[in-house]
Structure 1
Amino acid sequence: MRLDDTDRRLLRQFMAEPTLTTADLAMRAGVTEATCWRRLERLRKGGVLTGQQAVIDWRALGWAVEVSLRFTLDKTDPRAFDEFIAAAREVPEVLEIQTFLGRVDVRLNVIARDMAHYQQIYRDRILTLPHISDIESLMHLAEIKRGDGVPL
């Protein structure tokens, strides 16, 4: 889908403050409310806008530990990826699952209340995942930049 300057202005304003009403978004983007609504509908139908979501600060809810786990899987079983991912989806503390090409096959982003809780999750839920050949753990210290938007 091709975007023009009006689409980009709308998307920039929408990314900055997704809770704006159509009227406020139109005003900030310098278009009429009707134009704004039509453009947003076109962007939705074109697959550019796929939804809205709440961003919850899980640290504010008492989850103080975040760990990125990188897995290399034993790929001698052709079902290794599917079985690993299906099992990882069942771990409630897993926030994110990503797959890769290269030395690392899968990355899980895991949260825990504290280090003791993380150790319990690691022993009871992570190490029991199928087809693990190697694990690398990276403790999250700080978020420097979050890529919630794209440069428009």
Structure 2
Amino acid sequence: MDLDETDRRLLNALQRQGRLSNAELSEKVNLSPSACHRRVQRLEKDGFISGYVALVNPRKVDRKTIVFVEITLRAQADDVLDAFEKSVARIPDVLECHLMAGQADYLLKVVAEDAEDFARIHRRYLASLPGVQGMQSSFALRTVRQTTALPV
């Protein structure tokens, strides 16, 4: 399914304010409430909208430290990659895990209370990940830009 300009306006509005009522959304994108509701349902059904979430302020839940961890594996065999991915998916402090091209095999985005908490996460989880040959951690000093809104 191709997106038309109205679909794009709907997606942009919902990415910025996911709790808009159908009436508010329809007014924002200049559609009747019934047409707006049908289009949003179609966007959900077709997988353009994969879910709705509340974005929690990490500082309010004492997770103000962000660490990017580059991981290099011993081998690139499917069983090694699968074992690593299954294990990393069970670590609650890992927000993102990306298979990479380049120097590192994986890039993780980890949240922690502080450096001491990251040391705990490292000892308890990261150091025991299967197939790891090397690990390089970089602490974010400040977040300059962060968004969940995709350009559509």
TM exceeding 0.5: yes
Distance (Å, rounded) in 1 between the aligned partners of 2:5 and 2:77: 50
Query: Cα 1:90–1:32, aligned 2, differ >3 Å: closer, same or farther?
Result: same
Task: Look up the equivalent residue of 2:81 and give its one-letter code.
Answer: F
Distance (Å, rounded) in 2 between the aligned partners of 1:76 and 1:26: 49
Q: TM-score, normalised by structure 1?
A: 0.90
> How many angstroms does 1:92 deviate by?
2.1
**1:18-97 equivalence runs, <5 A:** 18-75=18-75, 78-97=78-97
Distance (Å, rounded) in 1 between the aligned partners of 2:28 and 2:76: 55
> How many angstroms does 1:76 deviate by?
6.2
Q: TM-score, normalised by structure 2?
A: 0.90
Partner of 2:125: 125
Query: Cα 1:74–1:29, aligned 2, differ >3 Å: closer, same or farther?
Result: same
> How many angstroms does 1:121 deviate by?
1.8
Partner of 1:107: 107
Partner of 2:5: 5
Distance (Å, rounded) in 1 between the aligned partners of 2:91 and 2:133: 19
Across the aligned residues of Structure 1 and Structure 2, the Cα RMSD in angstroms comes to 1.6
Partner of 1:140: 140
Distance (Å, rounded) in 2 between the aligned partners of 1:39 and 1:123: 48
Gaps of 5+ in 1: none
Task: Look up the equivalent residue of 1:113 and give its one-letter code.
Answer: E
Task: Look up the equivalent residue of 2:144 and give its one-letter code.
Answer: I
Residue 125 of structure 2 aligns to a residue in which SS? helix
Distance (Å, rounded) in 2 between the aligned partners of 1:76 and 1:99: 11
Gaps of 5+ in 2: none
Task: Look up the equivalent residue of 1:5 and give its one-letter code.
Answer: E
Residue 58 of structure 1 aligns to a residue in which SS? coil
Residue 133 of structure 1 aligns to a residue in which SS? strand
Deviations 1:73-121 (A, max 9, x none): 1116541111112222222222221112332211121122221221122
